[in-house]
Amino acid sequence: MQRTMYLLAMVLVVVGALNWGLVGLAQFDLVATLFGGADSALSRIVYGLVGVAGVALVVTHLATRTAPTNHASAVGVR
């Protein structure tokens, strides 16, 4: 994933996380408030973009991760 796309996806995921945090803690949907209600086309586009960004980050993470190492043996502890 290109750096610009990665940063955009990260920003969207953070926006989604903050929005869900506000929904859970204060029953306040910031995206809906800013874009005309939860059922407005603009809000639904933002929700969809947040979901696509989350999937893109998961796929990128899974594609680039390496096998985990045993931490104890990596630092020389036996």
pLDDT value, residue 65: 83
Task: Determine, yes or no, domain membership for 78.
Answer: no
Task: Determine, yes or no, domain membership for 59.
Answer: yes
pLDDT, tens digit (0-9, with 9 covering 90-100), for 55-76: 999 999 999 887 666 666 555 5
Task: Determine, yes or no, domain membership for 71.
Answer: no
Q: Average pLDDT for residues 10-35, to the nearest whole number? A: 97
Instruction: Please write down the long-range contacts of 44-47, taking CB distance under 8 Å and 24 or more positions apart.
Output: 46/15, 47/16
Task: Determine, yes or no, domain membership for 70.
Answer: no
Q: Are the C-beta atoms of 34 and 78 separated by less than 8 Å?
A: no
Task: Determine, yes or no, domain membership for 25.
Answer: yes
Per DSSP (E only), the strands in 1-78 are none
Task: Determine, yes or no, domain membership for 33.
Answer: yes
Domain span including residue 36: 3-64
Distances (CA, A) of 12 to 32, 65, 67: 15, 22, 28
| CA pair distance 10, 2, nearest whole angstrom | 12
